[in-house]
């Protein structure tokens, strides 16, 4: 079998085979492409994930020798609120850090010892205990506007120059993402917002990283019309009176 770094850089989805991941194949390819780009940009890198659950999206980084350190933040709730309403509350059965670590040990490859876990909300994580600089973050925790903003603030506080912050479930957390994008624009921060495959969205603080990677560059071009459509729809809804917003939501 090929070395693990070659499999990751070749976007080989089999690196996700051991631990279940709540991501589609298209999303997995996007995650691997960003991992590849970050490793090429920085060499050794530090990774932070919010909302690890079973550890599915951690496994490529556990296996990758270029990943020096992993911080995993998860409050470990049995249910999680969702901005779409009470009908979308998600249940997490047997949600524990020990279960996640057992899953990752079962790969028989990589180093679980490089993972540091925090069973708490991102706002309560001691900043000085997180690896710095942070090169890549993946936010897939509570799907509420307030939580996504808190999670992003934590990641930004540790992010290396030219780092990347990824978000899952774009279509649910889009309002929070627009708050973040507008805030970065007001600060004059250079970055490139990129809709990747399916519901993965990235903030690239070194836009050249996207253009230098064939997969990311193509994904950016192909998904830009959809991103602009979402942006236009969001702006239109923001202009509607409250009763019409409630009707659309219903």
Which residues of the chain are under the pLDDT cut of 70?
78-92, 240, 242-250
pLDDT for the residue numbered 243: 62
What is this structure's pTM?
A: 0.91
pLDDT for the residue numbered 31: 98
- What is the Cα–Cα distance from 170 to 51, expressed in whole angstroms? 15
Q: Give 3-state DSSP helix, strand, coil % of the chain, rounded to 5.
A: 50, 20, 30
CB 141 within 8 A of CB 74: yes
CA angle (178 as vertex; 177, 180 as ends), nearest 5 = 65
pLDDT for the residue numbered 164: 98
Look up the CATH superfamily of 4-249. Answer: Vaccinia Virus protein VP39 (3.40.50.150)
pLDDT for the residue numbered 202: 98
* Beta strand 201-204 pairing with 115-118: unpaired
pLDDT for the residue numbered 95: 79
Q: Is 144 helix (H, G, I), strand (E, B) or coil?
A: coil
pLDDT for the residue numbered 80: 60
Q: How many CB atoms lie within 10 A of CB 82?
A: 17
- Pick left, alpha or beta for residue 199 (phi over 0 → left; psi -120 to 50 → alpha; otherwise beta): alpha
- What is the Cα–Cα distance from 85 to 143, expressed in whole angstroms? 11
- Residue ranges of domains in the chain: 4-249
């Amino acid at each position: 079998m090929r070395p693990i770094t070659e499999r990751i850089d070749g976007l080989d989805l089999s690196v996700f085979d051991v631990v279940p991941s709540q991501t589609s194949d298209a999303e997995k390819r996007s995650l691997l492409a960003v991992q590849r780009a970050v490793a090429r940009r920085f060499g050794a890198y530090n990774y932070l994930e919010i909302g690890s659950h079973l550890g599915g999206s951690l496994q490529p980084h556990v296996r990758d020798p270029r990943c020096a350190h992993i911080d995993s933040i998860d409050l470990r709730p049995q249910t999680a609120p969702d901005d779409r309403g009470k009908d979308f509350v998600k249940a997490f059965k047997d949600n524990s850090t020990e279960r996640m670590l057992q899953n990752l040990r079962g790969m028989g490859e990589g180093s679980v010892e490089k993972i540091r876990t925090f069973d708490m909300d991102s706002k309560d994580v001691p900043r000085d205990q997180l690896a710095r600089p942070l090169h890549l973050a993946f936010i897939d925790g509570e799907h509420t506007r307030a939580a996504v903003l808190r999670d992003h603030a934590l990641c930004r506080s540790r992010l290396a120059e030219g780092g990347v912050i990824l978000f899952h479930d774009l279509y649910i957390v889009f309002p929070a993402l627009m708050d973040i994008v507008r805030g970065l624009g007001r600060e004059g921060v250079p970055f490139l917002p990129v809709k990747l495959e399916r519901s993965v969205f990235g903030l690239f603080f070194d836009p050249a990283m996207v253009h230098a990677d064939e997969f990311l560059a193509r994904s950016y071009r192909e998904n830009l019309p959809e991103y602009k459509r979402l942006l236009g729809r969001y702006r239109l809804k923001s202009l509607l009176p409250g009763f019409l917003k409630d009707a659309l939501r219903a």
